[in-house]
């Protein structure tokens, strides 16, 4: 998933995909910034797609409005509890509907809709959560990421479009008042990713810390899996897991990419087979 969220240069810069090496000086604990930045709510679809296999591919056969899918998720129990498989396959088939900086109208106006017509706005909840936690402003995190410490709105132009700067300027008195979540999703995505510069930096730093700051990380052969065990684990892909559990015979090789070709599950599983002849005697 991370190569889709972030540009490959960001992963390399923050050592997310480099060889594991435990660093006892690295703090692997969760941060407020991670909790705020990992909310890709602008990717939520207005309609929940349910999918099913059709020949050598899959298709969406039914849709349910987001507000009803969240309030009464009975589709999960449909068809003798096969509904969860249909939800998962629907996600594999569908493109992300919102990779711009906006949420869909249901997320903003119909979240947790109740029988009396009352609902919430997820953008407001995200901003409110950051303020309740005392999360520093967006500009503080830009500075931490070596993106500069903006003193004026003009200083955001290296990461954010003029249109989005003007929108923020219309509701914030000063550039240094911008909430982290707001400033982050207003940024222009970096090439080859769906994340802006600040979001990429903060999340990549965190994923790197989780990996290199954990002495029990699964690649640490002093505490867990070794040699051949690690090689077997690294053969596992999400496509292989879905083939084993969704009752389908085809799957996208790269599940997070809708331009990835549909491949027979038998071929996907074959790539993950163990070559016992290569095991040491």
199 & 262 share domain: no
146 lies in the same domain as 270: no
Whether pLDDT at 31 is above 90: no
What are the residues whose beta carbons fall under 8 Å from the beta carbon of 254, sequence distance 6 or more? 239, 260
Q: 149-168 burial string, b = 16+ CB within 10 Å, else e?
A: ebeebebbeebbeeebbeeb
| Domain count within the chain | 2
Res. 118: pLDDT tops 70: yes
Is residue 119 one of the residues assigned to a domain? yes
Supply the mean pLDDT for the chain.
Answer: 88
pLDDT at residue 276, as a whole number = 47
* Residue 84 counted as domain residue: no
Question: What average pLDDT score do residues 252-279 get?
Answer: 82
Structural domain for 250, as ranges: 227-278
- Least confident range from 130-139, 201-210, 223-232: namely 223-232
DSSP SS3 for 180: helix
Report the share of the chain in percent with pLDDT over 90: 53
Residue 51 lies in a domain: no
Residues 6+ apart with CB under 8 A from 191: 7
What's the mean pLDDT in 14-42? 90
Instruction: For residue range 237-261, list pLDDT tens digits in order.
Output: 999 999 999 989 999 999 998 899 9
Would you place residue 100 in the very low, low, confident or very high pLDDT band (cuts 50, 70, 90)? low
Q: Give the residue with greater pLDDT, 159 vs 279.
A: 159
The answer to whether position 54 is within a domain reads: no
Q: What is the CA radius of gyration of the chain?
A: 22
Say whether pLDDT at 26 is over 60: yes
- Is 89 inside any structural domain? no
Sign of CA pseudo-dihedral 185, 69, 4, 38: positive
Mean pLDDT of 150-176: 95
The per-residue pLDDT for 98 is 63
> What pLDDT does 57 receive?
94
Of 14-28, 165-179, 219-233, where does mean pLDDT reach its minimum? Answer: 219-233
Residue 73 lies in a domain: no
Span 121-146, pLDDT tens digits: 888 898 999 999 999 999 999 999 99
Task: Judge if 160 and 252 occupy the same domain.
Answer: no
**272: confidence class by pLDDT, cuts 50, 70, 90:** low
Beta bridge partners of 175: none
| Measured distance CA(117)–CA(111) in Å, rounded | 10
Q: Do 102 and 170 lie in a common domain? A: yes
Domain check: are 151 and 202 in the same one? yes
Query: Is residue 148 domain-shared with residue 260, that is, in the same domain?
Result: no
Which is more confident, 73 or 58? 58
Where residue 274 falls among pLDDT bands split at 50, 70, 90?
low
Same domain, 192 and 246: no
Q: Both tokens of residue 189?
A: 């995505």
Is 239 among the domain residues? yes
Which residues, 6+ apart, have CB-to-CB distance to 51 below 8 Å?
58, 59, 60, 61, 86, 88, 89, 90, 91, 92, 93, 94
pLDDT band at 264 (very low <50, low <70, confident <90, very high): very high
Residues 252, 123 within the same domain:
no
| 188 in the same domain as 147 | yes
Instruction: Identify whether 197 is part of a domain.
Output: yes
Question: Please, what's the b/e burial string for 182-200 (b: 16 or more CB within 10 A of its CB; e: otherwise)?
Answer: bbbbbbebbeebbbbbbbb
Q: Are residues 244 and 145 in the same domain?
A: no
In 3D space, the residue among 248, 180, 193, 167 whose CA is nearest the CA of residue 16 turns out to be: 193
């Amino acid at each position: 998933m991370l190569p889709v969220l972030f540009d490959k240069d960001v992963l390399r810069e923050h050592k997310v995909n480099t060889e594991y090496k435990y660093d006892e000086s690295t703090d692997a604990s969760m941060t407020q910034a991670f909790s705020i930045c990992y909310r890709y709510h602008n990717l939520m679809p207005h309609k929940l797609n349910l999918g099913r296999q059709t020949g050598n591919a899959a298709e969406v056969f039914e849709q349910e409005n987001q507000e009803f899918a969240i309030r009464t998720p009975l589709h999960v129990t449909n068809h003798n509890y096969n509904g969860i498989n249909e939800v998962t396959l629907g996600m594999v088939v569908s493109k992300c509907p919102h990779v711009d900086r906006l949420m869909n109208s249901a997320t903003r106006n119909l979240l947790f809709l109740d029988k009396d017509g009352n609902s919430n706005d997820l953008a407001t909840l995200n901003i409110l959560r950051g303020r309740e936690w005392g999360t520093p402003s967006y500009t503080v995190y830009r500075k931490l990421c070596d993106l500069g410490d903006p003193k004026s709105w003009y200083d955001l132009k290296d990461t954010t479009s003029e249109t989005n700067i003007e929108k923020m300027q219309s509701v914030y008195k000063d550039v240094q008042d911008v909430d982290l979540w707001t400033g982050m999703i207003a940024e222009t995505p970096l090439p080859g990713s769906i994340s802006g510069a600040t979001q990429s930096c903060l999340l990549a730093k965190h994923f790197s810390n989780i990996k290199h700051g954990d002495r029990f990380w699964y690649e640490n052969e002093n505490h867990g899996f070794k040699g051949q065990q690690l090689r077997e684990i690294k053969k596992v892909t999400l496509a292989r897991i879905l083939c084993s559990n969704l009752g389908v015979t085809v799957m996208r090789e790269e599940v997070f990419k809708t331009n990835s070709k549909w491949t027979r599950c038998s071929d996907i599983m074959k790539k993950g087979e163990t070559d016992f002849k290569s095991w040491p005697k």
